């Protein structure tokens, strides 16, 4: 094992997306991540398909694309948490682990004798991270949550999508489970911070991560726009609420994204589209005025951009150092020369398919290089090896 966390063992009791995303981050960083799955059933996302990975004969396996996206580099162990043997196995693993990740309903693991207090009594240095929809306390602490509903409840859908009355108007969710992903990111950051603190105190900790908390926190500028103005942020399609021009614009043969970030860039942008007078006009010369007068500025930009093709505009804006880009499909992303150069797609050996594609971590370390060699595990693939190493019997999975 390589990577900066090669000395760390993680007991991953989580399933679906947020917890497993955190576990995959830690696995990418070199930690040994032991994924405990319900015997005979496994992680819910194993069945979230199609699509499924094809085996060597071209037939569907039981490995869904969803599951494969979030479980790279882990070991799968089947354990029945309701059994005495299963509970003993989890305690034995916790005694030898640094971190526990779990996303059971509040209080569930305690009913099995596997709550944070019970596990920390076995291993005082253990860092336990609980991921739930609403946290360990409050009026909704016991409620179940999924990404979609938290995107709605946390305000994200109120600012995502075209305005009411516009074509396709109405609230929209983000095209990936962004709350799950960000919750997993916060969980990973939290356990790493607890590891750093443990190196000084010698003590473990308990971390309470709630999806609704994360959704509220990640509203970022939209939240502060409301808090400092009292106004309710509204959906504005692809238009940025604070910086202009930033939008999707039609060109002669498609669409382009323009992301002008400051007044100097706007001068170069205006020059590139053949309208240098726009940057000289006091109504548009500064970003606050461009935002205030966007209703007049936007049509002028749109008219100019329709005159040339996408490739011509990208070349022109690149020459002026104006941030811009095409709207790539997912296949186009993996064909992008920069994405290919950065090595974000890697084929990993797989026991059923021969190999499985994997989107690798964006983290690059100079001294502690990350390596991606282990595919998401089959259900129970490592049960015998892991339990035998602990001196336990496989009855734990019955």
In tens, the pLDDT along 297-307 reads: 999 999 999 99
pTM: 0.94
- State mean pLDDT over 151-166: 96
Q: Are residues 100 and 120 in contact, defined by beta-carbon separation less than 8 angstroms?
A: no
Let me know if residue 230 belongs to a domain. no
> Cα–Cα distance between 92 and 87 in angstroms, integer?
9
Task: Reply yes or no on whether the pLDDT at 398 is more than 90.
Answer: no
How many percent of the chain have pLDDT more than 70?
98
Q: Is 180 a catalytic residue?
A: yes
E-only strand ranges, 13-97: 32-38, 52-54, 60-64, 74-79
Domain CATH number, residue 44: 3.40.50.10540
57 and 105 in a common domain = yes
Domain that holds residue 80: 9-217+342-397
How many separate domains does the chain show? 2
pLDDT in tens, 139-149: 999 999 999 99
41 and 127 in a common domain = yes
- State mean pLDDT over 85-100: 97
Task: Reply yes or no on whether the pLDDT at 395 is more than 90.
Answer: no
Let me know if residue 310 belongs to a domain. yes
304 and 203 in a common domain = no
* pLDDT recorded at residue 317: 98
144 and 19 in a common domain = yes
380 φ/ψ angles, rounded to the nearest 5 degrees: 70, 15
205 and 252 in a common domain = no
291 and 383 in a common domain = no
Let me know if residue 37 belongs to a domain. yes
173 and 139 in a common domain = yes
* pLDDT recorded at residue 147: 98
361 and 252 in a common domain = no
Let me know if residue 192 belongs to a domain. yes
Domain CATH number, residue 267: 3.30.1540.10
Let me know if residue 241 belongs to a domain. no
Of 308, 329, 350, the one marking the end of a domain is 329
Q: Which position has the token pair 């892991």?
A: 386
305 and 264 in a common domain = yes
pLDDT in tens, 264-297: 999 999 999 999 999 999 999 999 999 999 999 9
Q: Are residues 256 and 314 in contact, defined by beta-carbon separation less than 8 angstroms?
A: yes
| Bridging pattern class, strands 52-54 and 32-38 | unpaired
Q: Select which of 12, 28, 43, 180 is catalytic.
A: 180
Of 283, 306, 329, the one marking the end of a domain is 329
Let me know if residue 238 belongs to a domain. no
> Cα–Cα distance between 103 and 132 in angstroms, integer?
6
Let me know if residue 52 belongs to a domain. yes
Q: What does each C-alpha distance from 14 to 129, 321, 393 come to in angstroms?
A: 10, 45, 23
393 and 355 in a common domain = yes
- State mean pLDDT over 34-46: 96
Let me know if residue 51 belongs to a domain. yes
- State mean pLDDT over 242-258: 97
45 and 138 in a common domain = yes
> Cα–Cα distance between 164 and 170 in angstroms, integer?
5
Confidence of residue 390 (pLDDT cuts 50, 70, 90): confident
78 and 110 in a common domain = yes
Task: Reply yes or no on whether the pLDDT at 397 is more than 80.
Answer: no
Of 329, 355, 378, the one marking the end of a domain is 329
């Amino acid at each position: 094992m390589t990577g900066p966390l090669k000395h760390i063992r993680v007991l991953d009791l989580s399933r679906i997306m947020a917890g497993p995303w955190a576990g995959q981050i830690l696995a990418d960083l070199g930690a040994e991540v032991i994924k405990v799955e319900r015997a005979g059933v496994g992680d819910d996302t194993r069945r979230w398909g199609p699509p499924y990975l094809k085996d060597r004969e071209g037939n569907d396996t039981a490995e869904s694309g969803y599951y494969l996206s979030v479980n790279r580099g882990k070991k799968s162990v089947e354990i029945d948490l309701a059994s005495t043997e299963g509970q003993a196995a989890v305690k034995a693993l916790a005694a030898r682990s640094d971190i526990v990740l779990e996303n059971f309903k509040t209080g569930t693991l305690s009913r099995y004798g596997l709550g944070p207090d019970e596990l920390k009594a076995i291993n005082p240095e253990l860092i336990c991270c609980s991921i739930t929809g609403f946290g360990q306390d409050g009026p909704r602490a016991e409620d179940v949550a999924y990404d979609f509903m938290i995107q709605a409840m946390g305000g994200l859908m109120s600012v995502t999508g075209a305005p009411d009355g516009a074509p396709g108007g109405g609230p929209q969710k983000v095209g990936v489970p962004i709350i799950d992903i960000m919750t997993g990111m916060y969980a990973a950051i939290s356990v790493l911070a607890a590891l750093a603190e443990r190196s000084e105190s010698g003590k473990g900790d308990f971390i309470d991560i709630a999806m609704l908390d994360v959704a509220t926190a990640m509203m970022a500028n939209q939240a502060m726009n409301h808090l400092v103005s009292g106004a309710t942020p509204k959906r504005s399609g692809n238009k940025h609420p604070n910086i202009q021009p930033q939008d999707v614009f039609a060109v002669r043969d498609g669409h382009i994204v323009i992301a002008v970030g400051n007044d100097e860039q706007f001068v170069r942008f205006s020059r590139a589209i053949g309208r240098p007078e726009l940057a000289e006009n006091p109504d548009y010369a500064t970003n606050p005025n461009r935002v205030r007068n966007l209703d007049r500025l936007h049509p002028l930009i749109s008219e100019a951009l329709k005159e040339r093709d996408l490739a011509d505009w990208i070349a022109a804006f690149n020459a002026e150092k104006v941030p811009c880009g095409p709207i790539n499909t997912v296949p186009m992303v993996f064909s992008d020369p920069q994405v290919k150069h950065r090595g974000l797609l890697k084929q990993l050996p797989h026991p059923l398919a021969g190999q499985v594609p994997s989107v690798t971590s964006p983290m690059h370390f100079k001294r502690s290089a990350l390596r991606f060699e282990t595919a998401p595990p089959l259900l129970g693939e490592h049960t015998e090896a892991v339990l035998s190493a602990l001196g336990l019997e496989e009855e734990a999975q019955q």
